[in-house]
Amino acid sequence: MRFSSGCSIAEEETAIKRSARSYTLTLTLLCVPLTLAPLSGAESQPAAVEGKHDPAVDVQAVQKAVDQGGTVLLKGRFDFGDKGSVTITKDVNVLGETDERGAPRTTIRGGYYTFHSPPTGQTPPPPGPKIAIKNIHFDGALVRNNQVVIEGQEAWCIRGERARNREALHLRSGCTL
């Protein structure tokens, strides 16, 4: 039997199989780079900030990293002085380093509100950024005994912190784990 194209059934089947293989190869060549793209580049690597134990440097460095959103890894000792505060407006995971037992090694001393995510003032308030703060030792924020103030956020977690010289955290919504 011959089709209108002049090909037999066997020839048509061979042509269809070749076309299917070509289509599969094309999809593979297009999809593999797209799948691997998130594994390389800046998005997969956290922004690392090394503490200098200097309020003039530490607050600006942490604020710059947090402003980018994503994951921020804080390393070492940070000093926020008497007035240092980092404002969070984007989704961010702020992580500290841990020792072999899982205890926080990263320390932030002082600060006005060490981390602050203010409400927008809109009514009704829109969802705020998603915030996670983990494995940080807070040592003495100076206002109202609070290291972290997070208001009106849609979802966030704070876990693995230690606080000294003041009340640990002031949280107006969400959960503490």
How far, CA to CA in Å, does 121 sit from each of 124, 125, 127, 155? 8, 7, 12, 18
What is the per-residue pLDDT for 41? 45
What CA–CA distance (Å, rounded) separates 163 from 66? Answer: 21
For residue 127, is pLDDT > 90? no
**Quick one: tokens of 27?**
């999809």
Domain residue extents for the chain: 9-39, 46-171
Per mean pLDDT, which range of 42-56, 82-96, 131-145 is the poorest?
Answer: 131-145
What is the per-residue pLDDT for 148? 59
What is the per-residue pLDDT for 159? 47
**Quick one: tokens of 76?**
């070492």
Tell me the DSSP string of the chain.
Answer: -B-TTS-BHHHHHHHHHHHHHHHHHHHHHHHHHHHHGGGSSGGGSPEEEE--S-HHHHHHHHHHHHHT-EEEEEESEEE-TTT--EE--S-EEEEE-B-TTS-B-EEEE--SSSEEE-----SSPPP---EEEESEEEE--SSTT-SEEE-S-SSEEEES-EEESS-S-EESSS---
Nearest 5°: the CA angle 62, 40, 66 is 15
pLDDT band at 141 (very low <50, low <70, confident <90, very high): low
For residue 86, is pLDDT > 90? yes
What is the per-residue pLDDT for 169? 45
Contacts of 63 (CB under 8 A, 6+ apart): 86, 87
Average pLDDT over residues 59-70: 97
Intra-chain end-to-end CA distance of the chain, in Å = 73
What is the per-residue pLDDT for 16? 66
- % of the chain exceeding 70 in pLDDT: 54
Average pLDDT over residues 108-121: 82
For residue 14, is pLDDT > 60? yes
